[in-house]
Amino acid sequence: MLKDTHIVVVVAHPDDAESYCGGTIAHLTKSGNRVTLVVCTSGDRGSHDCSISPTNLIHLRKEEQYTSQHVLGVQEIIWLGYEDGKLAYQPELRDRLIRIYRQLRPNVIITFDPWKHYEFHPDHRAVGFAATEARMLADLPWICPELTLEGTAAWHPQEMYCFSPQDPNYWVDITETIDLKTEARLAHHSQNDFIHNETDRQQFIEMIRSNARKDGEDQKMNYAEAYYKVDDTDFNL
Amino acid sequence: MLKDTHIVVVVAHPDDAESYCGGTIAHLTKSGNRVTLVVCTSGDRGSHDCSISPTNLIHLRKEEQYTSQHVLGVQEIIWLGYEDGKLAYQPELRDRLIRIYRQLRPNVIITFDPWKHYEFHPDHRAVGFAATEARMLADLPWICPELTLEGTAAWHPQEMYCFSPQDPNYWVDITETIDLKTEARLAHHSQNDFIHNETDRQQFIEMIRSNARKDGEDQKMNYAEAYYKVDDTDFNL
Amino acid sequence: MLKDTHIVVVVAHPDDAESYCGGTIAHLTKSGNRVTLVVCTSGDRGSHDCSISPTNLIHLRKEEQYTSQHVLGVQEIIWLGYEDGKLAYQPELRDRLIRIYRQLRPNVIITFDPWKHYEFHPDHRAVGFAATEARMLADLPWICPELTLEGTAAWHPQEMYCFSPQDPNYWVDITETIDLKTEARLAHHSQNDFIHNETDRQQFIEMIRSNARKDGEDQKMNYAEAYYKVDDTDFNL
Amino acid sequence: MLKDTHIVVVVAHPDDAESYCGGTIAHLTKSGNRVTLVVCTSGDRGSHDCSISPTNLIHLRKEEQYTSQHVLGVQEIIWLGYEDGKLAYQPELRDRLIRIYRQLRPNVIITFDPWKHYEFHPDHRAVGFAATEARMLADLPWICPELTLEGTAAWHPQEMYCFSPQDPNYWVDITETIDLKTEARLAHHSQNDFIHNETDRQQFIEMIRSNARKDGEDQKMNYAEAYYKVDDTDFNL
Amino acid sequence: MLKDTHIVVVVAHPDDAESYCGGTIAHLTKSGNRVTLVVCTSGDRGSHDCSISPTNLIHLRKEEQYTSQHVLGVQEIIWLGYEDGKLAYQPELRDRLIRIYRQLRPNVIITFDPWKHYEFHPDHRAVGFAATEARMLADLPWICPELTLEGTAAWHPQEMYCFSPQDPNYWVDITETIDLKTEARLAHHSQNDFIHNETDRQQFIEMIRSNARKDGEDQKMNYAEAYYKVDDTDFNL
Amino acid sequence: MLKDTHIVVVVAHPDDAESYCGGTIAHLTKSGNRVTLVVCTSGDRGSHDCSISPTNLIHLRKEEQYTSQHVLGVQEIIWLGYEDGKLAYQPELRDRLIRIYRQLRPNVIITFDPWKHYEFHPDHRAVGFAATEARMLADLPWICPELTLEGTAAWHPQEMYCFSPQDPNYWVDITETIDLKTEARLAHHSQNDFIHNETDRQQFIEMIRSNARKDGEDQKMNYAEAYYKVDDTDFNL
């Protein structure tokens, strides 16, 4: 079982980590690994309620993310503060992630699969491309040479897992953490405006469980989260 | 059968609608639905004939589109006027489509599938991304806040269909409108420079029919147009 | 067997051609065809060795490419000189390739498949999009009108093959040129820092062979390179 | 006195022409010259009144501009439709003006002086740069080559005058048209929110007159508009 | 004497405020006014010493700025965190300043004069343009409409002063605060690498004094800081 | 008299150096100094003759520049190859000049004054800003850190002179080199399309002389070129 490993999870919005890999995160932290969560945007446009301003939404969603952090056992959250809905493909985001990878020197990266068909959210695709390219380029000392010059050496996170995968090839059993995943996801109250009563709430929980059941089906796992795993080394989530 | 529904079709060039979903459009307008066509570029570079200038081509292709509009029964055409061949991925196009969706409040969006492999035309991919992202983001009042501020409320087109799909999951039977589709496509004379005589013309018609036959084959339809359908609601094309 | 045909190969870095289509190139030049290689970046960041500067790396990799050129029989190399790792999707690169296609009037283009899943290198995707779009647009005289105005007429390379294909549909038998491919790839010494001794060297050669065997397996070829072929004409690699 | 000359006036917002060169325009049209007005933005953000939406403001300001057009005798208005407040320095605007200059072949250009110190409005500077650069570049057939290719020949507007000049060197006597200038400016009701009563109105008129008096002072003109004139030819406003 | 007024000073780097308007700031805070300092970049490249990394420089310069803040009596510092040397003319910076002006509702803005001839630092010009444009546009509710929508109303800082002015028209007597200005400037140790001993130090102090003497000369002030003042209202620095 | 000094002259087009500082260059090379000329664009659009293509113009103008180089005694020409008329303000050009300054380590920079009023050519302003900013930033080792990392140390060209100055403060006596300047300028035949006969030729020569006389008038020089000189050191042109 994986231990003493440092995993960096890169997502676009508060609540992405919970929805896509919350069970995996809880599993990892419980086993004695360190998880750092990088949230690229502030989720500041993510509400159908016109009476909550972006400024307030930023604060609200940070609070929600901290509650979820506690549930999942995440050690650290890094906020990049980009504006929600505006994360186009851009070198700046990639460079900031290269810096983070080189400074933290994690063993594993978890992020979006940017090739997922019909993934309509531009922020998800943008984060997927930036985070996966950053892993490859972080290993070359002449990329972001100022880091090399200041003594922050090149670094290659040994493994990478892309969630919401177009071509899944790896599954994490989350049977023991499906409840934590659900609790963490529900902590994002601002994203639950479709829940008006206990029935809605149970329906949403069942939907999360049903999706995880489907992902685990062929793997003989009760509940699973699916990934496209890149490179085979000694680590395994 | 679908009735009294408003469908917005978003394409890159004059003649895209006819080639990719002309049979569906004719079917919809005949059944009593309203179809608005958004043409993003003016098709001003789309000729192998160096003696027709872009300025003239714009006029010519508008006329051709109006002829086709009559054939297909399209209620309204909105011209965005971008330059042909230069539609890179850009937030401005998306914002203009968000405005159109919120103002027209359509029930259904039809557009390109931007994930289609080997779709080499950059304009097609750009329109596909912009039109599908716009549908998702149009629903959030803090995206394009000036619209909300001026009273043009957020809106979610309930369904979306992507033509020329990478992963088809929906087919429209166009057996009764294949002739209208063909007539509408042929109305774009500027795009028929490969037709030199009646034989060429029949060959082109047969190619259109053959493609539609192939799309309908497994669905037990004589002629069909294929789609990737997003979200299941009460509507069905 | 293909003869007297002009093939333009467009790659991102020195050593891409060898890795992805070196066997095909050798096969083509030996059969009496002309191959022009367009290398978009200088490969100036492609080293894990911090003591070789980008400036030196440019010279070093050019020398390596010339050695490989000799091995593969490539007639001409065109260097575009972009910075390694910074080839974002950009119209300028496409326009330069349109110019090259129109000036050289090749029959065949070989380049990256930009739709390849999990192709993490942004330069590879950027070159794939630019080179394939350029082929389509080079045929329209009102695209890059200055070329038409100066008498460099529109041109349509009749065929195109995308290597490292997402959906392979064509294979070239490289059984007779697998050794040349390997030798050409090994000529890029700066990219062989993982080879410390003869054992490593043999392992790398076996990896190249093993990949080519896998690609040829279902085609009853001993060694092959796989492609997505676009458009069927009289040519065949 | 100047006659039968074609003058193109390029401004950023509806009401710019009246404020900066309205007296000159009236003078020119009364003398038998043709004036075309190019308005680059729609002035859609130009209100302190939050209850008038940009969409409504566009219509309102067009109406106001048509009223003013009638007062000043302007023959034609060309609306470019850019968003108010967002006209950064950009090649696209310049190219559109080059096209207009070549198609209309005017003798004289009138526009903003982009070097005016403490001109804080970015749209004013952007229009000034684009309109003056366009005049110089419109004369070169290899700039915007598509126009040359389609037979719209290069053209050099013989003279140019920059209003609101940093270094004035030319003055137009507007003594006979100061009332028309004032009336035309007042026609832009949406820009008169500081006028609450007849006293305010008279004060504003006096301000316009006082500014024109100051500009004419050293030229022995009762009322004048000042310019930086570029190139000396047979024309003179 | 000005009292109970809120002044926002917008600069590009830590140490700009001290060099250009430190005496004025000390004068204002001593008289009972509130001064907020906005520092746009982190000054992270501002060292000739290659052994201090940008990361360390950020921390070092923040410390220096806090020491200076204490000397000058500045109430609040807002760090925007842009990269030093890369502040090109960009709408994003302007929008962030519009937000700050509307939220803080200051009476006075102090910033760079972007028209200063031979001001070679691009960051200085970029800040000057952004901060002065922001003042004009902050007054229009349809600019940055999300702020209006969330209830952060439009606001017009009544006065503006540009330091390092191309056309000075206003002077602040800093005779009583020249020592504080000098002390505050000297607190930026990282920027004093030309001071090797007490003689150098005295020379630098004399240079600061000499410049202030020159600025005050014609105004009959012992020491002054010069400005271009925009708009005349009841305030006066 | 200045000797053994290295001067880098940065211009936008072939023929700029001759027009603006050709007398100075000849004076410097005759006195035993080294002059390197950096030509940023290829001048490829600089013809009113539609029958000379940009491709041919590039070759033609290079030849003309080499002839002029011989006349003026310039040691080296560096061609950056940007497209004529498209040099917008951009960081890339500045970075390339920083690299050149650091590699060549010149004592003096000569370039355009980007603040010159009514300098309508965008390329001239772009080069002026890039070349003057590059001098300031080349001195900071954390700007373009890859250069520092590869051992190309920071460098500060001690003096800078801006020709075509808005605020002239320095003049070079070119009485002894006015003929060389004229000959060098005339060597750019492609730019002499207004010269149809010997009379035109003499008139052009007289115009060059007349301008130089005007520049020298108040300095008691027969012929001069004017500059804005930045920083006073031991050098003097």
pLDDT digits (tens, 9 = 90+) for A43-71: 999 999 989 999 999 999 999 999 999 99
On chain B, the residues whose CB falls within 8 A of the CB of E142 are: 146, 149
Any chain B CB within 8 A of the CB of D169?
Answer: no
Question: Is the CB of B49 inside 8 Å of chain D's CB atoms?
Answer: no
| Closest partner CB to E55 (pick from A50, A55, A150) | A150
HSE, side-chain direction, 13 A CA sphere, residue F59: 4
Contact residues, chain F, for C149 at CB < 8 Å: 50, 53
pLDDT at A231 over 80: no
| Side-chain-facing half-sphere of B124: CA atoms under 13 Å | 21
Nearest CA in chain A to B138: A48
- As for the ipTM of the complex, it is 0.93
Residue A237: which pLDDT band, with cuts at 50, 70 and 90?
confident
Summary mean pLDDT of chain B: 95
Most confident of the following: B126-130, C91-95, E47-51: B126-130
Residue in B with minimal Cα distance to A47: B140
Split at pLDDT 50, 70, 90, the class of A88 is confident
Q: Which of D88, D118, D122 sits opposite E228 (nearest CB)?
A: D118
Å from E150 to nearest chain A CA?
5
Query: What is the model's pLDDT at position F112?
Result: 98
Q: Searching chain A, which residue's CA lies closest to the CA of residue F146?
A: A145
Nearest to C47 by CA among C25, C33, C64: C64
Enumerate helices (H) and strands (E) in chain B, giving the number of each.
7, 7
Bridge partner residues of F173 (DSSP): F224
* Interval C8-61: pLDDT, tens: 999 999 999 999 999 999 999 999 999 999 999 999 999 999 899 999 999 999
> Buried b / exposed e across D42-53, counting CB within 10 Å, b at 16+?
bbbbbbeebebb
Mean pLDDT of A171-178: 98
C-alpha to C-alpha distances, B91 to A27, B96, B153, F192, nearest whole angstrom: 39, 9, 20, 46
**D202 Cβ neighbours under 8 A, 6+ residues apart:** none
Considering only alpha carbons, which residue of chain A is nearest residue B151?
A50
Q: Count Cβ atoms within 10 A of the Cβ of residue F234 and give its class: 0-12 exposed, 13-18 middle, 19 or more buried.
A: exposed
Residue F139 touches chain E, beta carbons under 8 Å: yes
Q: What is the mean pLDDT of chain F?
A: 95
Is A50 an interface residue toward B (CB < 8 Å)? yes
Convert the pLDDT of each residue in B72-103 to its tens digit: 999 999 999 999 999 987 789 999 999 999 99
Query: Residue E29 phi/psi, 5° resolution?
Result: -70, -35
pLDDT at position C213, please? 97
Contacts of D89 in chain E (CB under 8 A): 89
- Distance between A228 CA and the closest CA of chain E, angstroms: 35
With 70 as the cut, is the pLDDT of residue A134 above it? yes
Confidence of residue C91 (pLDDT cuts 50, 70, 90): confident
Subunits in contact with chain D (3 or more CB pairs closer than 8 Å) = B, C, E, F
Residue F149 contacts D where some CB pair is shorter than 8 Å: no
**Rounded Cα–Cα distance for residues B13 and B9 (Å):** 12
Contact D78, D39 (CB under 8 A): yes
Residue in F44, F48, F88 nearest the CB of D139: F48
Share of chain A above pLDDT 90, in %: 92
**pLDDT of res. C231:** 77
Out of E53, E150, E151, closest to residue A151 by CB: E53
Residue A116 is predicted with a pLDDT of 97
Write down the pLDDT at residue D88.
80
Nearest to C54 among A91, A142, A167 (CB): A142
Distances (CA, A) of B12 to B28, B123, B128: 21, 6, 9
* Subunit partners of chain B (3 or more CB pairs within 8 A): A, C, D, E
Beta strands D6-11 and C224-230 are unpaired
Does the pLDDT at position F234 exceed 90? no
CA distance B78 to chain E (A): 25
Question: Which parts of chain A fold into alpha helices (H)?
Answer: 16-30, 54-72, 91-104, 122-137, 145-149, 178-186, 198-216
pLDDT at D188: 98
The torsion angle over the Cα atoms of residues D213, D217, D220 and D222, rounded to 10 degrees, is 10
Q: What are phi and psi of D235, to 5 degrees?
A: -80, 155
